[in-house]
């Protein structure tokens, strides 16, 4: 075995300069694991107990239960509790992960491209992979793994078969890049660009630039645009390759001409006129292709070869898509990348979604440099076992040839056409199906066949944005404060079990819904988190018991009838007590607390929490009232708690409360609208946009001057013009108040007004002068055309716009 192929745990201890405690010091390490839930091959896994948002040491037990026997830790652990294990004790676990990866990198001789910059890192990486993998064995970062943890895990994938690595590095504050540079050790550096956005961690643009440039300390060649460089900053790299749209550069783009689908780029390079045609038209794609173009030229490809390859670039679909499938299935479409690391990520996502009892994978042939087909499919087989996949449909001659390696319900086809021809004999029922295949297998046809036909109006939900909003609020909490996620009203219109499954996986502590039905739906979809029900109707008490749902008790009547209902044998049933401190909606008032303490049956009930709702956490004007509410709450809480022998969880804050009242976090907070991207207490841009509502054009009409549009002849174009009828109406949640020009939508990137009244299932837009045809996409709201603006137009609040989107509008979930 050659150097750097495998390591024993003893060697790893030496490399990271840790203190070893070994049972079996020859144990072989192949996989590095940082999350006890995302296990791959546990036999050769090494778990790093990293201290980040959570302390990884808390998960040692669960990693051990899952079969892991090798650990890197910084705290003292009682080894006797874990038989047959190996331990490496270090000062800082994250640093040792980076050290190990840096060592692994340094024992491999290969060309390495390192990419950093404000935008475009992942796209440039993926496009360079497309451009360079025809004549190289390339290893690259999976997805957008570019963090302090993601980079070492990416670099760890290098093996002796690779001759080219492409890795991206992302940082958020000063001091981080130095670490990543020692791990990546690039020979070619690419600075994509430097933007003002996300400047939080940096004093100014110059500081940010200097920090990013540290990645390139040792490079041979640096590819960049002079436009992104600040005066007086020293540039690393023996050789520079510059590109520009408006000044002299090695690759100077002189002309950009775009038609409907392509862009022709004319440029000057080495005193010659050269040209490339690319199948994209948007500005970001054009910039990213110019960066790739420069890199190819800098690497010595001639202009003709570079143009030939650029013409074949395809769009990078980074996102997993979760949609409704036929026969009560959920479908996860990840038919873009097909390597084992992205398979592993997709399988984890599959495992988060618990709504169906059965998990099916449709997988094409894969290819992995440096591994024989036998090794590869053996590894996949193990992975499927660990990720608890129930059924495999393999498509491709290679996977079919290795079918005996798979020990689960299985069927195989030689190609996609063969599968489609026999799909009706494959029964699908109540399953989550992951579709994953190399591009040449054309799995989009498989997705099309298995997806429920989608009504042309869809609400797209960006799950990464939702998670990043969750992290934003979690980062504001003092240690130990729990999070209750409000998922009432179909998660504010954004979905139901899909969101709850994600929140459960990412460890919120509690969920809350408005009605018992909503809670039951979550339980049926595999949600095991505790769930509070805010309006527990007596007719559903029985169901609450059966589904283990916890009622909010807000009045003496509810308490009496619940006690009356509770069967004799039940003890310690969890309830939550709501206090009214000024909202005057639901809850006990101060003068009722006495009676409440008497009535509370200490045997049968367990008061899990006592809470109140604040009426104006986002509004400075009412800050005195907010303080008054909290002091009332505290008094009432103490009276109640004294009558119990324990102290129930205290919670008062909603979204804006978390942003504005850090002193009132108590034991838990209840975050709702913030998860979905809105918080009246925050400045623009602090949260990410989660929802995009899209529809399509059904028909285009030309109008003469003064012809009218729609019911009651309320719409008129005085000078005539062009209108588009689109497939969204008030029954979809697009309020009638948006009619007659009040509302606007984005067509071909331009805002256009409605004409006439909004109908039940459709409405009309004035698209005079706009290049639009039947079937084109129309944006009702998204990141640019924001829900807050729509809300303002019709004098309401984002909550209403979002929750109004009706259930007949299909939800599609994206995950990157």
Ligand X SMILES: *Cc1c(COP(=O)(O)O)cnc(C)c1O
> Is 352 a residue that touches ligand X (CB under 6 A)?
no
Closest approach, Cβ 655 to ligand X, in A, equals: 3
Looking at the Cβ atoms of 192 and 491, the one nearer to ligand X is 491
| 583 in a labelled binding site | no
Options 440, 507, 711, 750, the catalytic residue: 711
Options 212, 488, 578, 744, the catalytic residue: 488
Q: Which of 670, 694, 744, 811 binds ligand X (CB under 6 A)?
A: 670
Q: Which stretch binds ligand X (CB under 6 A): 75-83, 86-94, 668-676, 753-761?
A: 668-676
**The two structure tokens encoding residue 736:** 């009638």
Closest approach, Cβ 31 to ligand X, in A, equals: 40
Looking at the Cβ atoms of 461 and 673, the one nearer to ligand X is 673
Looking at the Cβ atoms of 401 and 615, the one nearer to ligand X is 615
Q: Which of 225, 655, 695, 803 binds ligand X (CB under 6 A)?
A: 655
Q: Which stretch binds ligand X (CB under 6 A): 88-96, 355-363, 667-675, 805-813?
A: 667-675
Closest approach, Cβ 737 to ligand X, in A, equals: 22
Closest approach, Cβ 222 to ligand X, in A, equals: 47
- Residue 598 is classified by DSSP as H
Between 529 and 548, how does the x/- string for binding to ligand X read (CB under 6 A)? -----x--------------
Determine contact, residues 779/693, Cβ cutoff 8 Å: yes
Count, residues near ligand X per rule CB under 6 A: 11
Determine contact, residues 640/553, Cβ cutoff 8 Å: no
Q: Which of 56, 674, 729, 798 binds ligand X (CB under 6 A)?
A: 674
Q: Which stretch binds ligand X (CB under 6 A): 35-43, 118-126, 429-437, 665-673?
A: 665-673
DSSP strand pairing (272-278 vs 263-269) = antiparallel
Q: Give the C-alpha separation, 420 to 446, whole Å.
A: 7
Q: Restricting to residues 477-506, which ones interact with ligand X according to CB under 6 A?
A: 486, 488
Closest approach, Cβ 757 to ligand X, in A, equals: 31
Q: Which stretch binds ligand X (CB under 6 A): 48-56, 664-672, 704-712, 758-766?
A: 664-672
150: helix, coil or strand? helix
Q: Which of 352, 629, 654, 692 binds ligand X (CB under 6 A)?
A: 654
Q: Give the C-alpha separation, 240 to 220, whole Å.
A: 8
258, β-bridge pairs = 263
* Residue 537: how many other CB atoms lie within 10 Å: 14
Closest approach, Cβ 675 to ligand X, in A, equals: 8
For 525-568, where are the alpha helices, taking DSSP H only? 541-546, 556-565
Looking at the Cβ atoms of 346 and 675, the one nearer to ligand X is 675
Looking at the Cβ atoms of 437 and 677, the one nearer to ligand X is 677
Closest approach, Cβ 678 to ligand X, in A, equals: 8
Q: How far is CA 598 from CA 157, 285, 565, 639, 727, in A?
A: 64, 68, 18, 12, 58
Q: Which of 673, 745, 791, 802 binds ligand X (CB under 6 A)?
A: 673
Q: How far is CA 536 from CA 547, 549, 554, 628, in A?
A: 13, 9, 10, 28
Q: Give the C-alpha separation, 704 to 489, whole Å.
A: 45
* Residue 564: how many other CB atoms lie within 10 Å: 9
Q: Give the C-alpha separation, 27 to 727, whole Å.
A: 61
Q: Give the C-alpha separation, 674 to 676, whole Å.
A: 5
| 736 in a labelled binding site | no
Sign of CA pseudo-dihedral 194, 200, 203, 204:
positive
* Residue 571: how many other CB atoms lie within 10 Å: 12
Backbone angles phi, psi at 515, to 5 degrees: -120, 160
711 noted as active-site residue: yes
From the list 687, 292, 744, 786, the residue with the least C-alpha distance to 466 is: 687
Terminal Cα distance for the chain, rounded: 36
CA atoms within 13 A on the CB side of 257: 5
Closest approach, Cβ 672 to ligand X, in A, equals: 2
Closest approach, Cβ 531 to ligand X, in A, equals: 14
Between 580 and 619, how does the x/- string for binding to ligand X read (CB under 6 A)? ---------------------------------x------
Between 612 and 651, how does the x/- string for binding to ligand X read (CB under 6 A)? -x--------------------------------------
Looking at the Cβ atoms of 188 and 671, the one nearer to ligand X is 671
User: How far is Cα of residue 482 from the mean position of the Cα atoms in its chain?
Assistant: 22
Looking at the Cβ atoms of 100 and 673, the one nearer to ligand X is 673
Determine contact, residues 167/102, Cβ cutoff 8 Å: no
Over the range 188-199, which residues count as b (16 or more CB within 10 Å of their CB) and which as e?
bbbbbbbeeeee
Cβ-proximal residue to ligand X, closest one: 672
Between 35 and 54, how does the x/- string for binding to ligand X read (CB under 6 A)? --------------------
Q: Give the C-alpha separation, 467 to 53, whole Å.
A: 13
Beta strand extents in 76-216 (DSSP E only):
86-89, 111-116, 138-140, 164-168, 188-191
Q: Which of 500, 671, 724, 772 binds ligand X (CB under 6 A)?
A: 671
Beta strand extents in 367-417 (DSSP E only):
391-395, 409-413
Closest approach, Cβ 475 to ligand X, in A, equals: 16
Looking at the Cβ atoms of 387 and 670, the one nearer to ligand X is 670
Determine contact, residues 332/435, Cβ cutoff 8 Å: yes
**The two structure tokens encoding residue 45:** 């896994």
Bin 725: left if φ > 0, else alpha if -120 < ψ < 50, else beta: beta
- Residue 454 is classified by DSSP as P
Closest approach, Cβ 515 to ligand X, in A, equals: 12
Q: Give the C-alpha separation, 392 to 400, whole Å.
A: 11
Looking at the Cβ atoms of 164 and 486, the one nearer to ligand X is 486
Q: Give the C-alpha separation, 504 to 330, whole Å.
A: 18
Between 730 and 749, how does the x/- string for binding to ligand X read (CB under 6 A)? --------------------
Tokens 């719409």 found at: 715
Looking at the Cβ atoms of 167 and 554, the one nearer to ligand X is 554
Q: Give the C-alpha separation, 543 to 541, whole Å.
A: 5
> Is 672 a residue that touches ligand X (CB under 6 A)?
yes
Looking at the Cβ atoms of 126 and 552, the one nearer to ligand X is 552
Q: Which stretch binds ligand X (CB under 6 A): 116-124, 387-395, 475-483, 666-674?
A: 666-674
From the list 123, 80, 810, the residue with the least C-alpha distance to 457 is: 810
Q: Give the C-alpha separation, 615 to 585, whole Å.
A: 10
Backbone angles phi, psi at 720, to 5 degrees: 75, -175
Q: Which stretch binds ligand X (CB under 6 A): 281-289, 518-526, 670-678, 708-716?
A: 670-678
From the list 663, 661, 632, 666, the residue with the least C-alpha distance to 650 is: 666
Closest approach, Cβ 546 to ligand X, in A, equals: 24
Looking at the Cβ atoms of 585 and 750, the one nearer to ligand X is 585
Binding site members: 585, 760
By annotation, the residues acting in catalysis are 488, 711
Interface ranges with ligand X (CB under 6 A) = 486, 488, 534, 613, 654-655, 670-674
Residues annotated in the binding site for substrate, as ranges? 585, 760
């Amino acid at each position: 075995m050659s150097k750097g192929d495998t390591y024993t745990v003893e060697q790893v201890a030496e490399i990271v300069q840790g203190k070893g405690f070994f049972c079996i010091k020859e144990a072989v390490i192949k996989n590095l694991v940082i999350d006890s839930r995302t296990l791959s091959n546990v036999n050769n896994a090494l778990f790093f107990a990293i201290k980040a948002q959570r302390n990884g040491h808390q998960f040692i037990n669960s990693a051990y239960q899952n079969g892991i026997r090798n650990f890197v830790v910084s705290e003292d652990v009682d080894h006797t509790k874990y038989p047959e294990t190996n331990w490496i004790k270090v000062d800082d676990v994250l640093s040792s992960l980076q050290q190990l990866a840096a060592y692994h990198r340094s024992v491999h001789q290969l060309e390495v491209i390192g990419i950093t910059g404000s935008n475009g890192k992942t796209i440039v990486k993926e496009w360079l992979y497309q451009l360079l993998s025809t004549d190289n064995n390339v290893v690259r970062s999976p997805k957008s793994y570019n963090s302090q943890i993601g980079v070492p895990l990416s670099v760890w994938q290098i093996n002796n078969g690779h001759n080219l690595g492409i890795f991206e590095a992302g940082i958020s504050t000063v001091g981080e890049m130095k670490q990543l540079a020692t791990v990546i050790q690039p020979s070619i550096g690419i600075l994509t660009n430097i933007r003002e956005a996300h400047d939080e961690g940096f004093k100014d643009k110059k500081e940010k630039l200097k920090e990013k440039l540290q990645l390139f300390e040792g490079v041979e060649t640096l590819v960049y645009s002079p436009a992104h460089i600040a005066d007086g900053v020293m540039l690393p790299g023996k050789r520079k390759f510059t590109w520009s749209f408006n000044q002299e550069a090695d690759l100077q783009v002189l002309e950009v001409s775009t038609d409907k689908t392509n862009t022709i780029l004319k440029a000057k390079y080495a005193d010659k006129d050269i040209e490339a045609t690319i199948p994209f038209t948007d500005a970001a794609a054009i910039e990213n292709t110019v960066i790739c173009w420069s890199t190819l030229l800098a690497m010595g490809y001639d202009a003709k070869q570079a143009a030939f390859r650029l013409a074949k670039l395809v769009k990078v679909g980074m996102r997993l898509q979760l949609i409704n499938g036929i026969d009560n299935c959920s479908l996860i479409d990840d038919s873009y990348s097909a390597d084992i690391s992205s398979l592993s990520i997709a399988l984890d996502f599959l495992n988060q979604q618990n709504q169906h009892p059965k998990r099916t994978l449709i997988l094409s042939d894969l290819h992995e440099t440096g591994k024989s087909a036998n090794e590869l499919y053996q590894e996949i087989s193990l992975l499927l076992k660990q990720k608890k996949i129930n059924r495999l449909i393999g498509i491709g001659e290679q996977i079919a040839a290795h079918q005996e390696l798979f020990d689960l319900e299985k069927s195989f086809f030689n190609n996609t056409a063969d599968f489609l021809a026999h799909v009706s004999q494959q029964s699908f029922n109540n399953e989550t199906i992951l579709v994953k295949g190399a591009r040449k297998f054309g799995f989009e046809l498989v997705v099309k066949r298995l997806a429920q036909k989608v009504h042309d109006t869809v609400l797209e939900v960006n799950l990464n944005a939702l998670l990043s909003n969750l992290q934003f609020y979690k980062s504001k909490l003092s240690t130990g404060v729990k999070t209750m996620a409000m998922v009432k009203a179909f998660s504010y219109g954004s979905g139901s079990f899909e969101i709850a499954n994600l929140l459960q996986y990412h460890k919120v502590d509690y969920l809350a819904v408005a009605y018992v039905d909503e809670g039951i739906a979550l339980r049926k979809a595999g949600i095991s988190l505790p769930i509070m029900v805010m309006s527990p109707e007596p007719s559903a008490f029985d169901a609450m018991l059966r589904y283990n749902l916890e009622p909010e008790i807000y009045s003496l009547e509810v308490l009496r009838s619940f006690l009356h209902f509770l069967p004799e044998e039940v003890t310690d049933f969890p309830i939550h007590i709501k206090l009214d401190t000024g909202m005057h909606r639901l809850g006990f008032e101060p003068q009722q607390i006495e009676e409440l303490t008497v009535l509370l049956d200490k045997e049968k009930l367990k008061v899990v929490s006592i809470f109140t709702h604040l009426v104006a956490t986002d509004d400075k004007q009412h800050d005195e009232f907010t303080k008054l509410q909290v002091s009332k709450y505290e008094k009432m809480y103490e009276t109640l708690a004294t009558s119990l022998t324990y102290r129930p969880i205290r919670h008062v804050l909603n979204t804006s409360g978390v942003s504005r009242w850090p002193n009132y976090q108590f034991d838990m907070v209840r975050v709702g609208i913030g998860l979905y991207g809105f918080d009246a207490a925050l400045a623009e841009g602090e949260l990410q946009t989660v929802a995009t509502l899209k529809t399509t054009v059904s028909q285009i009409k030309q109008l003469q001057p003064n012809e009218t549009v729609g019911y009651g002849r309320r719409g008129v174009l005085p000078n005539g013009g062009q209108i588009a009828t689109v497939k969204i109406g008030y029954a979809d949640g697009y309020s009638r108040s948006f009619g007659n020009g009040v509302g606007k939508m984005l067509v071909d990137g331009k805002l256009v007004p409605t004409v006439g009244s909004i109908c039940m299932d459709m409405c009309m837009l004035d698209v005079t002068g706009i290049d639009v045809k039947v079937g084109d996409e129309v944006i009702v709201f998204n990141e640019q055309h924001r829900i807050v603006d729509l809300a303002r137009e019709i004098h309401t609040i984002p909550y209403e716009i979002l929750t109004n989107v009706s259930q007949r509008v299909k939800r599609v979930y994206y995950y990157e």
